[in-house]
Chains A and B, each alone.
Chain A
Amino acid sequence: MPVDEPSQVAVSCRNAWKVYGPKADRIVGTSDADLPRGELLEKTGCVAAVRDVSFDVSPGEVFVVMGLSGSGKSTLVRMLNRLHEPTAGQVLIDGEDILTFNDDRLREIRRRKISMVFQHFGLFPHRRIVDNVAFGMEVQGIDREKRTARANEVLEVVGLGGLGNAYPDELSGGMQQRVGLARALCTDPEIMLFDEPFSALDPLIRRDMQDEVVRLQREVHKTMIFITHDLMEALKLGDRIAIMKDGRFVQIGTPEEVVAHPADDYVADFTRDVPRAHVLTVRTIMRPANGETDYAGDVAAGSVVQDVLPLMVTSDRPYRVIDGTTQVGMLDRTAVLAAMMEDAG
């Protein structure tokens, strides 16, 4: 899915750095920048939150940044709309470096292009739900009638129709984050930033909300950059995942790549408990076709192992693997079993 042509890139981050501390801007580009965090702090009094991060996100892609607390992921996402000013590097939106923008242009981009969903919802307790949702349009100077109508429309979309006159503290956590989601959708931005939006929610509610995002993504096709510390969430939502550690990207890849081919021990450690069958696709475990004609049926190369299990139960003959209309390989029952054994072992 990732495409490298510049015109096809919605958000691009180039060698971005964020260093906190005295004379932070002098760190980048020196040998100090490569020191481990503790030593850097010892030597210069600076903390490098984000170090030399580069990535491209295509329009309509869901790009997930996963990392533990302290890995710099929240700082990174705030650099994309310049809530935090990068120390060095570029942030390109539609090919333009927003770091060169003056306050007016920056505001314009925040008003129309990028919106953000916050970890602790960030709802305004003094405003009704509908006024919370309409906040972005209000800031743009759109008149009340128009923005209220739009806000109510968006509330319907997130399943909160009719609750516009309530206040945030009257809603449950999950509903509050739906409001946060609605607020971000209301200005119809091209890019949505999610800063650990569901980490404060109960597991069941969290799953609902994840499904909600999947559904919305299917309906509205936004470019989403999603921060999380939950690997399962990352695997579920992400078209691609970046694993972040100590301010750096350790690996960028599709969920399958990350699970099947971890870049280092750190990533491997993370993905160890992920059920392979849920992530690996048929394409990964198939064998080349050698012209045999005896097969039980067709399976799609892109489907996850978990989904083809029922077929494997019904027949012990191999299946033909097709991508579109062409055959790309064969799938044996033993390959599926092997994949599942990895989970068990």
Chain B
Amino acid sequence: MAVRTPPSSDLEELGAPERTIVVPTADRPRFPRWVRFLIWAVAVVAVIAVGLQLSGGFPESRTVDVAAKFNDFNDWVITNQRTSPLFVNFLDPVRNGIQSAYDQMVLVLSRLTWLGLIALVAAVAGLVAGWRLSIVAACGFLFMGLLGLWEPSVETLSLMIFAVLIAVAIGIPVGIWAGRRPSVERAIRPVLDAMQTIPAFSYLVPVVLLFGIGVPTALIATVVFAIPPAIRLTGLGVRQVPETSLEVGRSFGSTSHQLLRRIQLPLAKPAILLGVNQTIMMALGIVVIAATVGVGGLGQVVLDGLNNLNVGLALEGGLAIVALAIVLDRTTSAWGARDRKRRGATTIHVYGREISRLAATVVALALVAVAVFIGRQVLRQQDFPSAWTVNIEAPVNAAVSWITRTFGGVTTAITNVTVKYALDPLKNLLTDVPWWMVAGFAALIGWRVSRRWGLAALAFVCIAAVGVLGLWNESMDTLSQVMVAVVVSVALAIPLGIWCAQSDRVERALRPVLDMMQTMPQFVYLVPAVGLFGVGRVPGVIAGLVYALPPGIRLTNLGIRQVPKEIVEAAEAYGANRSQTLWKVQVPLARPSILLGVNQTIIMVFSVVIIAGLIGGAGLGLEVVRGLSHDPGAGMVAGICIMLLAIVIDRITQAMGEANRIAVPPSRTFGWRSGPSTKRAAAVATGVSERTSQEGEEST
């Protein structure tokens, strides 16, 4: 407690030298830019031409059959799970515990009856987030009932609650620990980075290997996937408590515990609640994908629909998921926003708020009890009455077949063009040149963006490893899909983002759409894509590029809007017109933000392209699907390949962003009294979806 390093501002004040700013010395341009570009282009084409003459792909003789080892392990698991102490004493109790806790939760929620559960959800939403949200919540759950999906909804909700409780119970303490100890933070940051980069889908396979198919696997994978934002944002919130606040605490003789309880945690609360919100949304994303390991629920409805090409059924499931997502997201973000306002009845008297809160709780609980009583004793219905359900399956399917008949030519044309002129040539190119050329190219890009050999080596090794693992062609297939989707997505997102930044009206109009898009789990995006484009690679690519649009648009818009007003005014004062200001000042200054958008786009596209394995998208995703159903070894290997590609892609795009980062004064606070830009920057910097942080801001 006594020894501290001085805050850096002190050191600066004391005349310590300013941190040396390394300005990358650009090579003096010997040729005009377009000539240099031409030279590069010719060089690349020449290299590729040479590469095409060599034997392409990855030599089979050098591959290692890792899948067999995993399958051996799987066999060992199957033969030993009744006898080995690892299973009998550890894994089985864990699995059984999770299973029975989950069963209990489903049972309890079901026994509340549909009326009781809606009342309970509305009451909870109302108590934490205000009465408006209780109406939203009630409507959302009513909607799920009306769709005839009450039972799967309850299952999904149970799994969600369970997973989020565990993720938060682990994540917040770890986050606090990391927030108070920089060494801990440094140690876990790369782990969290990797966890957030790897597509959700590949989390399932290793857990399946140990726990088999079922709820425990889904739960563990969900917790692992959803925990990073809880840790990150808690840590961030604790770290961003202003130094002065801590000094005040210490100067009055606070103990370390008092500092935490009375200063750090209250000040970090908005960030922590944002973390909980993010954790919930990420958990929902994977809980529905977890249908592939047989947990039932809403994901299963969508999956059945997709598997049987029953778009109506898939859409029902998708809509229910969206309803659940909206209820959960709005409730938790309104909770955070209300907390930031922190005005109850503070102007009345000291205990005013507690009393009113207590009264509200009592009334709400009484209403829930009445609802449960009516449901159990009067209506005697556990499930939503089937007489009330609305069947949208048939009309949707009719509509889909009408669309297919009418616009079939258009969608087929799009599909064919995409396959013929983009996906196939790119995939063939990647598989026809020797593997080392692909890996070398990745290394070159890695070096070019970071000027560090480490990144180049990492890129080369990871790409080579994919070949060694024997999934070269599948990986290149996936890569080609990702590339096509990213190019289109970025080409759409950047102009849209610039447009948003130029016009408040466009921004206002687009915001709810983007909010909605970011609330929906990636899985749901596959449904309309399949409806329009059938199965195959193209719907996956399209779902991916649409899913990835919001961060691209948002970060472009944000980057431009964050350019300090004085700088824009300076440009205008010299007579720059609007487009000069935009292209010479705003866009260059927004570049780090835009590149961050590209980074996010790539990662999001990647995760959808992987899931698209479920709808016949070829490549690594399909291998994972296969692995989950009957060949865990192959699935495991595909999962590792996905991880390797994800790491390469993420590292390279991040380095791109970092090389362009311009020194921005560090943001000190989060949530309380911080300017809009610092809060957004903080949120964006931690990879939080920007939407939620903006929402928080509007309400402050």
A-side residues, CB < 8 A to B, are: 20, 37-38, 41, 47, 49, 69-70, 72, 74-75, 78, 81-85, 103, 106-112, 114-116, 118-120, 122, 124-128, 135-136, 138-140, 148, 165, 167, 169, 187, 193
The verdict on A126 contacting B672 (CB below 8 Å), with A69-B13, A103-B1 known, is yes
| Docked complex Cα distance between A41 and B267 (Å) | 37
Residues of B contacting A81 with CB < 8 Å?
Answer: 251
| Cα-based distance from A116 to B251 in the complex (angstroms) | 7
Question: Are B253 and A85 within 8 A (Cβ)?
Answer: no
Q: Are A139 and B15 in contact (CB under 8 A)?
A: no
What residues on B are CB-neighbors of A107 within 8 Å?
253-255
Residues of the B chain whose Cβ atoms lie less than 8 Å from the Cβ of A148: 350
B interface residues, tally (CB under 8 Å): 38
Q: Which residues 243-269 of B sit at the A interface, judged by CB distance below 8 A?
A: 244-245, 247-255, 258, 262-263, 266-267, 269
Q: How far is the CA of A139 from the CA of B259 in the complex (A)?
A: 9
Would you call A83 and B247 a contact (CB within 8 A)? yes
- How far apart are A23's CB and chain B's nearest CB, in angstroms? 14
Contacts of B33 in A (CB 8 A): none
> Which of B4, B11, B245, B349 sits near A47, CB closer than 8 Å?
B11
Q: Does B387 sit at the interface, judged by CB under 8 A? A: no
Q: Is the CB of A125 within 8 A of B251?
A: no
B250–A110 touching, CB < 8 Å:
yes
Q: 6 new A-B pairs (CB below 8 Å) besides A122-B244, A126-B342?
A: A115-B251, A124-B266, A125-B267, A126-B266, A139-B249, A187-B252
Report the Cα distance A272→B253, complex, angstroms.
Answer: 42
Residues of chain A with a CB closer than 8 A to B252's CB: 110-111, 115-116, 135-136, 139, 187
Partner of A20, one of B1, B6, B242, B245: B6
Residues of the B chain whose Cβ atoms lie less than 8 Å from the Cβ of A167:
342, 346
Give CA–CA (A151, B17) in the complex, Å: 44
- B669 shortest CB reach to chain A, Å: 9
Task: Quote the shortest CB–CB distance from B273 to chain A (angstroms).
Answer: 13
27 A-B contacts (beta carbon < 8 Å): A20-B14, A37-B15, A47-B14, A49-B14, A70-B15, A74-B10, A75-B10, A81-B251, A83-B250, A84-B6, A85-B4, A103-B1, A107-B255, A110-B251, A115-B252, A118-B248, A122-B247, A124-B245, A126-B267, A126-B269, A126-B342, A136-B253, A139-B255, A165-B346, A165-B347, A167-B346, A169-B673
* CB of B16 closer than 8 Å to a CB of A: yes
Q: Which of B232-249 contact A (CB under 8 A)?
A: 242, 244-245, 247-249
Q: How distant is A138 from chain B, measured CB to nearest CB, in Å?
A: 7
Given contacts A41-B16, A74-B10, A126-B672, is CB(A116)–CB(B254) below 8 Å?
no
Contacts of A136 in B (CB 8 A): 252-253
Cβ contact of A41, chosen from B15, B250, B350, cutoff 8 A:
B15
Nearest 7 CB-CB pairings of A with B: A110-B253, A111-B253, A107-B253, A122-B244, A136-B252, A116-B251, A122-B248
A165 to B348 alpha-carbon distance, docked (Å): 8
Is B2 in contact with chain A by the CB < 8 A criterion? yes
Question: Which partner residue on chain B sits nearest A37 by CB separation?
Answer: B15
Q: Are the C-beta atoms of B15 and A47 separated by less than 8 Å?
A: yes
Contact of B262 among A20, A75, A109, A138 (CB under 8 A): A138
Least Cβ distance of B92 to chain A in Å? Answer: 46
B248 to A20, Cβ gap below 8 A? no
With a cutoff of 8 Å between Cβ atoms, the chain B residues found around residue A120 in the complex are 244
- Considering only residues 345-392 of chain B, those with a C-beta below 8 Å from chain A are 346-347, 349-350
Residues of A within 8 A of B2 (CB): 82, 85, 103, 106
Classify the interface of chain B: helix, strand, loop or mixed. loop
**CB within 8 Å of A: which B311-357 residues:** 342, 346-347, 349-350
User: Which residues in A have their C-beta under 8 angstroms from that of B258?
Assistant: 139
Asked whether B266 lies within 8 Å of A20 as measured between CB atoms, the reply is no
Q: Looking across the interface, which residue of chain A has its beta carbon closest to that of B669?
A: A125
Contact of B4 among A84, A124, A193 (CB under 8 A): A84
A residues in contact with B1, CB < 8 Å: 103
Q: Which of A41, A118, A122, A193 has most B Cβ within 10 Å?
A: A122
A residues in contact with B249, CB < 8 Å: 135, 139
Distance between Cα atoms of A219 and B309 in the complex (Å): 85
Q: How many angstroms from the CA of A84 to the CA of B251 in the assembled complex?
A: 11
Contact status A139-B350, CB under 8 Å: no
Interface membership of B664, Cβ < 8 A: no
Name the CB-closest residue of B to A69. B13
List A contacts of B255 (CB < 8 A). 107, 139
A139, B254: Cβ atoms under 8 Å? yes
1/0 contact string of B37-59 vs chain A (CB within 8 Å): 00000000000000000000000
Q: Separation in Å of the A61 CB from the closest CB of chain B? A: 21
Q: Please indicate the chain B residues that have their CB under 8 angstroms from the CB of A84 in the complex.
A: 4, 6
The reply on B3 being an interface residue by CB < 8 A is yes
- The answer for the CA separation of A237 and B169 in the assembled complex, in Å, is 53
A138 to B252, CA, bound (A): 10
Q: Which of A20, A128, A148, A169 has the most CB of B within 10 A?
A: A20
Q: Pick the contact of B263: A116, A118, A124, A169 (CB < 8 A).
A: A124
The reply to whether B253 and A108 contact each other, CB–CB distance below 8 Å, is: yes
Shortest beta-carbon distance, A151 to chain B, in Å? 12
Q: How far is the CA of A20 from the CA of B15 in the complex (A)?
A: 11
> Which residue of chain B is the closest to A118 with respect to CB atoms?
B244
Q: Which residues of A contact B244 (CB under 8 A)?
A: 118-120, 122
A138 to B13, CA, bound (A): 34
Q: Which residue of B lies closest to A125 (CB)?
A: B672
Q: What mask results when residues 1 to 42 of chain B are scored 1 for a CB within 8 Å of chain A, else 0?
A: 111111000110111110000000000000000000000000
* Chain B positions within 8 Å of A118 at CB level: 244, 247-248
> How far does the alpha carbon of A70 sit from the alpha carbon of B9 in the complex, in Å?
11
Q: Residues of B contacting A193 with CB < 8 Å?
A: 251
Q: Which residues of A contact B350 (CB under 8 A)?
A: 148, 165
**Are A70 and B262 in contact (CB-based, < 8 A)?**
no
Kindly list chain A residues whose C-beta atoms are within 8 Å of the C-beta of B269. 126
A306 to chain B, nearest CB (A): 36
Instruction: Give the docked Cα–Cα distance between A317 and B599 (Å).
Output: 87
Residues on A with C-beta less than 8 A from B5 are: 20
Residues of B within 8 A of A49 (CB): 6, 10, 14
Query: CB-CB < 8 A to A115: which residues of B?
Result: 251-252
Q: How far is the CA of A74 from the CA of B17 in the complex (A)?
A: 19
Cβ B247 vs Cβ A70 within 8 A: no
Q: Which residues of the other chain, A, contact B267 by a CB distance below 8 angstroms?
A: 124-126
User: Which residues of B (98-143) have their CB < 8 Å from a CB of A?
Assistant: none
Smallest CB-CB separation from A145: which chain B residue? B350
Residue of B nearest to A186 (CB): B252
Within 8 A of A (CB), among B52-84: none
**Residue of B4, B17, B254 with most chain A CB atoms under a 10 A cut-off:** B254
Shortest Cβ gap from B10 to chain A (Å): 7
With A20-B14, A47-B15, A125-B267 known to touch, is A116 a contact of B248 (CB < 8 Å)?
yes
A198 to chain B, nearest CB (A): 16
B200 to chain A, nearest CB (A): 35
Q: How far is the CB of B337 from chain A (nearest CB, A)?
A: 15
A72 to B11, CA, bound (A): 10
The smallest beta-carbon distance between A315 and chain B, in angstroms, is 53
Q: Give chain B nearest CB distance to A65 CB in angstroms.
A: 15
Bound state CA distance, A127 and B252, in angstroms? 16
Name the A residues within 8 Å of B3 (CB-CB). Answer: 85
Q: What is the distance, in angstroms, from A165's C-beta to the closest C-beta of chain B?
A: 6
- B242: which A residues are within 8 A, CB to CB? 122
Q: A124 to chain B: which residues have CB within 8 Å?
A: 245, 248, 263, 266-267
B14–A70 contact, CB under 8 A? yes
